[in-house]
Every structure is written in structure tokens, then in C-alpha cells.
Amino acid sequence: MLIIRPIRSSDFNALLQIAHESGHGFTSLPVNEELLRNKIARAEASVSKQVEKPFDEGYLMVMEDSETGEVVGTCGIEAAVGMEDAFYHYRLGTEVYHSEQIDVRNEVETLTLCHDYTGAAELCTLFLREGYRQGNNGRFLSRSRFLFLAEHPERFGEIVIAEMRGVSDDEGNSPFYNWLQQHFLGIDFVHADYLSGLGQKAFMGEMMPRNPIYVPLLPSEAQEVIGEVHANTRPALRLLHAEGFRHRGYVDIFDGGPTVECNLTDIRSVQASRSLEVSTGEVDAVGDTYIVANGEVENYRAIIVQRTLDDEARNLMLTAEEAEALMVNIGDQVRILAI
């Protein structure tokens, strides 16, 4: 059985291995032991904290194979980005130039550095190890976060965003970043991305262009990848589109990948999830596939079950094994979502 739960300090080696496997462009998991230990400690502190208003909490979950005890994936949610460290984006805009005298009108696309998403919640750190990329595992890992958002909306910003990985090659070279390196930052993409992942972002404010950038003046290879996603990220983007996330013209400052957004209460899976009361006994494991999560924070658990349920159902029958995995008893409430 695959179980999703909050990360704990004993998962450090597994998280380090995932950081190695995730490769270039996976900013939220740089290969740095001190940062990864701090990330785990912050996640442990966040789930044990009483929250009335989101600030700088970070919730990092792992997917565990209960048969082997192996951690096979991660997913995370930032409660409110940019509250302590600057959270930069480029905002795509348009400037209009018009002259009646010469009868010419031009619309020129621009990129402007901004902090517009400060305070938004962020979906992040989604990674599933290769041997488990099958069946509903990816959907389970990603969509389990929406049940957590639905159950604990007070812990998150009203807008939820996701930064999509932009175009880069196997060596980490980004066509969008190359011009920035040449004219402004002077360090390569992998180094800049690594520093960003460490939270060492002072160089951005010091070295990034301070005025709007005219897109037509960029090299053609840089223009072509603005708002485009890495080939490996397309399935994740399709899933988020199905949830109601849309690109509103914001792109990553390093690789030009799109950031998508949705109001928390408008996310399809948040709206479609519902609470049922637990009962236990013998069940027929047939029917539709559901994600089931308990209502906890520090002891959050989510699993997949197959059941036949109608829209009027108020109870969910669980096997003893499923109830134990979810850490629930008869009469407790769980939240379900059909995959």
C-alpha cells in the first residue's frame, strides 16, 4: 500500500536521493545536505504549529511504500510565498507605440520584474521515483495536496500557484537564461538555480535588469521558450489545467517557464472532495478509485481505495488495514476525492 504522510527527520537519506534524481531545474530540492535537513525541520515545525493566518510555513509530504518502508516520492505546499524571502517573477506585458504622423502602431511585449505573488500558496516539490511512475500513482501524489488544502484552507493563501519547469537541456542549459547570464548575472544557469534553491537570492535584486525588458530584443531562441514547459513537465501542467489553473502572464526569471494560478476555493478537486464518516468491516474492493485522507495535520495520512459510492453516500467502509494506515476509527471523518 502507498501512504502519503508528512516528512520526518528519518527520511533525510531518502530525500537526499530524490534530490540527486530530480536533476537540474528542480529548484526546491537542491543537492545540499544542510538545506535538506533544514527543510525537513521546517516541515516538522509547520505541521505542529497552530496557525490562524498563513505566513512562512512549508508542508512537505512523502509517499511511502508500506510493504518495503521505502520513500518513493515527495510533494509539497508552501503556505504563503515571499513573506520572508523575495519571490520574483517576470510579468509579461505590452507597451503600445503609435504615431499618427507616420501612421504606425506597434505593440511590444515586455518583461517586468515583480513580486506580485507575495502571499500566495504554492504547489511545489512534486517528484515520483521512476519505478513508481505507473497507474494512478502520479495523480495520487499530486492531488493528495488538494485534499489537504480543502481540509485546512486557513493555513494557506487565497491564491494557489505552481511554477512550471521551463525549457532546458540535459546539462541544465536554458535558452532563456543564456542572455541573462551574458549581459547581467555572469554565472551559469545551474549555479543561479542552485543559489535560488538555497534561498540565497540577494544577487537577484542586485544584478537583475531593473527596467522592463523588450522581448523582441532578446535572441530568438530565448523568445521561443517564454511560457513554455520542459517536456517532462507537460503531464503535470495538463493535470493542473484540468484543475482550473491558468497562466496569467507570469514566467520564471531564470528559465522562462510559466507560473499557473487558481483561487484555492475554485480548484476542481477542492470543490469535488467531500467528507464521509468512517465505518469498518468487510468490503468489496471494486468500483471507482478514490483518494482518502484523514483530517489531521501533524498525523496527516492519505491512501487510495476502490469503492462503489453514490453521490448520496454519507459513510465510507474501510478495511481494518486501511483504517490503520489512515490512523482513523469508526465515526471519524475522512475526506475523499475520486481519481
Residues 6+ apart with CB under 8 A from 100: none
Q: Alpha carbon of 266 to those of 51, 76, 323: distances in Å?
A: 22, 19, 30
Of 74, 110, 117, whose CA–CA distance to 95 is shortest? 110
Which residue stretches of 87-168 are H helix? 137-151
The DSSP bridge pattern shows strands 2-6 and 58-65 to be antiparallel
Residue 218, helix vs strand vs coil: coil
Is residue 301 within 8 A of residue 327, CB to CB? The reply is: yes
- Choose, from 24, 230, 241, 247, the residue flagged as catalytic: 230
What is d(CA 49, CA 32) in angstroms, rounded to the nearest whole number?
26
Least Cα distance to 142 among 241, 44, 215, 58 occurs for 241
Alpha helices in the chain (DSSP H): 12-22, 33-47, 137-151, 175-180, 189-197, 202-207, 220-224, 234-242, 268-272, 320-326
Told to judge if 183 belongs to the known catalytic residues of this protein, a careful annotator would answer no
Where are any strands of DSSP class E within the chain?
Answer: 2-6, 58-65, 70-78, 89-99, 104-114, 121-128, 159-163, 213-214, 246-251, 258-263, 274-280, 288-294, 302-307, 315-318, 333-338
Phi/psi of residue 169, nearest 5 degrees: -95, -175
Query: Which residues are known to be catalytic?
Result: 230
